[in-house]
Amino acid sequence: MIRGRFGVDVQFTDSTIAGGSQSLKTLTLQGASEYDFGKVALVSGTCGTAVVSVPVAPTTYRDSGGNVISFASVSRVAFSATGANLVACDGSGGCGIEDWTIYSRAGQVAVSEALETVAFSVNVYGTTGTAAYTLVMYGS
């Protein structure tokens, strides 16, 4: 049984003072989704500029019962990579018309809806560098 959540919280204030008067604008974009069914897997590894394939059917992750997780479709992902270089996570199945790619570096997490049935590809974006990555996949 799985239970979990994806939470994203973006909040900014933009203020200015002029002539003794302060103006303030706030920007907020927030979303929190709870999940009490489905499948979840976490895959971590290292990569360079060469593409590393992260298959989803099956993954390399074993659940609490010791069973290897295999997705029919991954619907949401969170991706994090270390280091100063941007690291790309590509979906082969894609979402919509465009190729699907998200980026992370320095431990900053990227999240997105996905429609992946085959494998994700992870690589350092650019011509040099290595990184450690973590990919959390949720789906069915």
Partner 1 sequence: MTNVRGRIAIDVQFADSTASGGVQSLKTLTLQDATEYTSGKVAIVTGTVGTAAVVVQTQPTTYKNATGEFVSFESMSRIAFAATGKLCNCGDVNEMSIASNNGHVAATLVNLPGGDTFVVTPDQPAGTASYTLVIYGT
Where does this chain bind partner 1 (CB under 8 A)?
A: 1-16, 18, 23-25, 27, 29-31, 33, 35, 40-42, 63-66, 76, 78, 80, 86, 88, 90, 95-105, 107-115, 134, 136, 138
Nearer CB in complex with partner 1: 29/50: 29
Distance, CA of 57 to CA of 113 (rounded, Å): 18
Contact 42, 133 (CB under 8 A): no
Minimum distance between the CB of residue 3 and partner 1, rounded to whole angstroms? 5
Minimum distance between the CB of residue 21 and partner 1, rounded to whole angstroms? 11
Minimum distance between the CB of residue 36 and partner 1, rounded to whole angstroms? 10
β 131-139/74-81 pair status: antiparallel
Nearer CB in complex with partner 1: 50/97: 97
Distance, CA of 40 to CA of 125 (rounded, Å): 26
Contact 58, 70 (CB under 8 A): yes
